[in-house]
Amino acid sequence: MNLKSIAAGFSAIILSITASAQVITGEYDIPKVPEWAKNAVFYQIYPQTFCDSDGDGIGDIKGIISKLDYVKSLGVDAIWFNPFFDSPFQDAGYDIRDYYKIAPRYGTNEDARQLFAEAHKRGMHVIFDYVVSYTSMEHPWFQASAQQEKNKYSNYYIWTDNIWVDPPREFAASFIKGYGMRNGQYMRNFYYCQPALNFGFTNPDPRQKWQLPVDHPDVLAMREDLKDVLRFWMDMGADGFRADMAGALCKTTRTFGNEQFFNTNENATKLFWREIRRLLEAEYPDGFMVAEWSGPSEALDDCFHVDFFHWFNGYNDLFQKESWRILNGVSEGHSFFDAEGLGNITDFLASYMAQYEQTKGKGYISLPLGNHDNARLGNKRTDKDLEIIYAFGFTMPGVPFIYYGNEIGMKQLPTSWPQVEGAYQPRNGARTPMQWTPGKNLGFSTADPSKLYLPVDPAPDAPNVADQENNPNSLLNRTRALIALRHSEPALANYAEFVPIYAEKNAYPFVYARAAGKDVVLVMLNPRAEASQATFNVNVPFKKTKLLAGDKFDVKRDKKTGNVTIDMPGQSYAIVKLL
C-alpha cells in the first residue's frame, strides 16, 4: 500500500498537527541571484573526457557542442566547464599558463564563443572555471616574477627575500626554494607548479618585509589584471564562473609561542569577492558566482551566489563510500546511502543545518552530485543506490550540480588506474571518458584505445547513454524525471523551505519536508537494504497525499495524535505531496 492508495482514508479529515521538532511554515526568501539562476540545475563537464570530435583521444569543444542537445535533454539549465585554458596540464588544466587562450587541444577561442552561443540557443547558461588563487609556473607573470631584476610582476606572487632563510613555519601554505634566479622562496598553493598569486597579508610582519599588505599597489594591480580576465570571458558570452579555491586568497600570520603560522584570511578574501560581485552587478548584471569555498556562511556573505558544501566533515559520510582518505588507509566511516545501513545522517545534518540557517535567503548551498575531485558516486553502488542519492540531491534546497556520467551511473574505476595530469587516485578513476554507446571507446573517441586521455571502463556491462535512452526505467531516464519534478513542484524549488522531519542518530529512514506557501512535499529516504519504520508529525493540514516519485510504502495515521507512521521497504524512497 502506498500513500496514494490510503489517501482515500484521510480524505474527509483535515488534520492540523504540530510537529514537536521543527515547524513547516512554507515561508522562504529568494536570494538575490540573477533570474535565470534562481531555480537552476547545473551539469558539470570535464572537457578532457566528454567527447572527442577529432580523434586525438582527448575531448574538445567541438565534441561538447555536438552533445549539447543531449545535455539539454537532461532538463538542466546550465553547464559548468572545468578549465579549458592553455596549460602545461600538471594539474589537469587548473595550472593556467594563459588566461586568455583556449588550450589548443580543446580548440580555439572562436570555438569557445560558439560553444557559449550554442548553449544559449538551447536556453542553457554557461559558467567557466575562474582560477585566481594561483597560476601555472609557466605563466608569463610568474616567469617574470622569478627574474632577479625587479619588474612589474615581481610582487605578483609571494616570494620571501632570502633563499637561505626559511619562512616561518607554514600552516596552510608551503614554500619552494631554488626556482629561477630570484633570491627567495615562493609560496605554492597546491602542487609545486602552482605558485600562489599575491593577495597580500592582513597583518604583515614588519620584520618580514616581503609580506605585503593587502592594499599594496602591486597587489591591487594584480587584482585588476584578474578582473580583466573575468571581463574577457564574460564578453565572450559566459554567464558567470565557479571560483577555484575561492576562500584561500589573502594570507594572515598568527603567532603561537615563538612560532609563526600562515593561514588564509577569509575576511580579507571576502572583500576581493565583494568587489567582483559589484563588478558583475555593474557590468554583467546576469553574472553568476559559484564558490569552491566550503564555508557557505563566509562565501555567501554578499560575495558568491552559491557555495559547494564539499570539503566538510559531513560530506564524505554522506556520499563517499571510499573517499580519498579511505583509499589512503584512513576510514571516514560509512555513507548514509550505503545499503549496509551503517550511516548516520545526523552528522551531516548538524553541519548542514548550521550553514543553512545562517545563509537562508542570502545564497545557495550546493551539495554536488559528484565532481572531478572525489571518487564517483557510482563507487561499488547499484543504479538503485544512485537513484536514492539523486532523489536526495534533487530535492534538497540550493543549486544541484551533477557531474557528467553520473546520470548513467558511471563507475569509479580501480585504484590501479593510470594517473594522469595530477589526477592521483581516486580523481583519475572519476575522470574517465563519457560512455555514449556500446563498442569502440564507448563512443567517446575514434582514437586507438592506447591514445585515450584515460582508458574507458572495460566492464562488459559498462553503462552507456544509447542503451539507457531506450529503457524508460534506466537511471538516465529516472534522473531526468527527478530533475523535471524539481522544476515542476514549487516546494522543490532551490529556494523553498527545508525542514528535517525525521532524522535520528544511526537510524533510517531520513524524512524531510520542502515547502513553498501551501505546497508541501515530503521526501523519505531508506537507502539501507533492510526495511525501516518512522513515526513523526507534520504540522500542516492535508486531506490526501500523492506519490510524485519513488516506491510504495505503508503509512498509518493516528487520529488522536496525528502521528504518521511509515513503513518503508529496504532500498526505497518516496517523494510525496501533501494535498
- Nearest distance in Å: CB 117, ligand GLC: 27
Nearer to ligand GLC by Cβ, of 198 and 346: the residue is 198
- Nearest distance in Å: CB 241, ligand GLC: 13
Which SS3 state, helix, strand or coil, does residue 165 take? coil
Q: Where are the beta strands (DSSP E) in 134-236?
A: 174-177, 185-188
- Nearest distance in Å: CB 146, ligand GLC: 20
DSSP bridge pairs for 290: 242, 306
- Nearest distance in Å: CB 172, ligand GLC: 13
Query: Is residue 503 a contact point for ligand GLC (CB under 6 A)?
Result: no
410 contact partners, CB below 8 Å, separation of at least 6: 376, 378, 432, 434, 435, 457, 462, 463
Half-sphere exposure for 141 (CA within 13 Å, toward CB): 26
- Nearest distance in Å: CB 93, ligand GLC: 9
Is omega for the bond preceding 438 within 30 degrees of 0, making it cis?
no
Task: Please give the Cα distance from 293 to 309 (Å, whole number).
Answer: 8
DSSP bridge pairs for 417: none
Tell me if 64 sits within 8 A of 459, measured CB to CB: no
Q: Which of 103, 125, 72 is nearest to 288 (CA)?
A: 125
Q: What is the C-alpha end-to-end distance of the chain, expressed in Å? A: 18
399 contact partners, CB below 8 Å, separation of at least 6: 37, 40, 41, 42, 290, 306, 364, 366, 494
346 contact partners, CB below 8 Å, separation of at least 6: 503, 504, 505, 506
Q: State residue 548 phi and psi, 5-degree precision.
A: -85, -35
Nearer to ligand GLC by Cβ, of 314 and 368: the residue is 368
- Nearest distance in Å: CB 423, ligand GLC: 8
Nearer to ligand GLC by Cβ, of 171 and 324: the residue is 324
Query: Is residue 244 a contact point for ligand GLC (CB under 6 A)?
Result: yes
Binding mask 193-222 for ligand GLC (x = CB under 6 A): -x----------------------------
Query: Is residue 317 a contact point for ligand GLC (CB under 6 A)?
Result: no
Among 98, 170, 373, 567, binds ligand GLC (CB under 6 A): 373
Binding mask 504-533 for ligand GLC (x = CB under 6 A): ------------------------------
C-alpha distances out from residue 256 to 103, 206, 355, Å = 45, 17, 29
- Nearest distance in Å: CB 310, ligand GLC: 9
Q: State residue 326 phi and psi, 5-degree precision.
A: -65, -40
CA angle 320, 323, 327 (to 5 degrees): 145
Among 36, 171, 190, 284, binds ligand GLC (CB under 6 A): 190
- Nearest distance in Å: CB 210, ligand GLC: 24
Cβ-based burial of 421 (10 A; exposed 0-12, middle 13-18, buried ≥19): buried
Tell me if 337 sits within 8 A of 343, measured CB to CB: yes
Query: Is residue 91 a contact point for ligand GLC (CB under 6 A)?
Result: yes
- Nearest distance in Å: CB 53, ligand GLC: 24
Nearer to ligand GLC by Cβ, of 91 and 347: the residue is 91
The DSSP H or E segment spanning 261 is strand 259-264
Query: Is residue 347 a contact point for ligand GLC (CB under 6 A)?
Result: no
Query: Is residue 407 a contact point for ligand GLC (CB under 6 A)?
Result: no
Q: Which of 567, 357, 387, 344 is nearest to 482 (CA)?
A: 387
- Nearest distance in Å: CB 195, ligand GLC: 12
For CA atoms 344, 347, 350, 356, the dihedral sign is negative
Nearer to ligand GLC by Cβ, of 245 and 299: the residue is 245
CB atoms within 10 A of CB 416: 8
Residue that is written with C-alpha cell 566538510 in the block: 312
Task: Please give the Cα distance from 463 to 365 (Å, whole number).
Answer: 30
Window 282-301: residues binding ligand GLC (CB under 6 A): 292
Nearer to ligand GLC by Cβ, of 248 and 300: the residue is 248
- Nearest distance in Å: CB 94, ligand GLC: 4
Nearer to ligand GLC by Cβ, of 86 and 91: the residue is 91
Window 112-141: residues binding ligand GLC (CB under 6 A): none
Nearer to ligand GLC by Cβ, of 105 and 372: the residue is 372
Nearer to ligand GLC by Cβ, of 417 and 573: the residue is 417
Task: Please give the Cα distance from 211 to 196 (Å, whole number).
Answer: 13
Nearer to ligand GLC by Cβ, of 87 and 202: the residue is 87
Nearer to ligand GLC by Cβ, of 294 and 468: the residue is 294
- Nearest distance in Å: CB 454, ligand GLC: 15
Number of residues that bind ligand GLC (CB under 6 A): 9
- Nearest distance in Å: CB 378, ligand GLC: 19
Nearer to ligand GLC by Cβ, of 190 and 210: the residue is 190
Nearer to ligand GLC by Cβ, of 266 and 387: the residue is 266
Query: Is residue 245 a contact point for ligand GLC (CB under 6 A)?
Result: yes
Biggest distance spanned by C-alpha atoms of the chain: 85
Among 94, 315, 495, 508, binds ligand GLC (CB under 6 A): 94
For residue 115 the three cell numbers come to 560553444
Give residues in contact with ligand GLC (CB under 6 A). Answer: 91, 94, 190, 194, 244-245, 292, 372-373
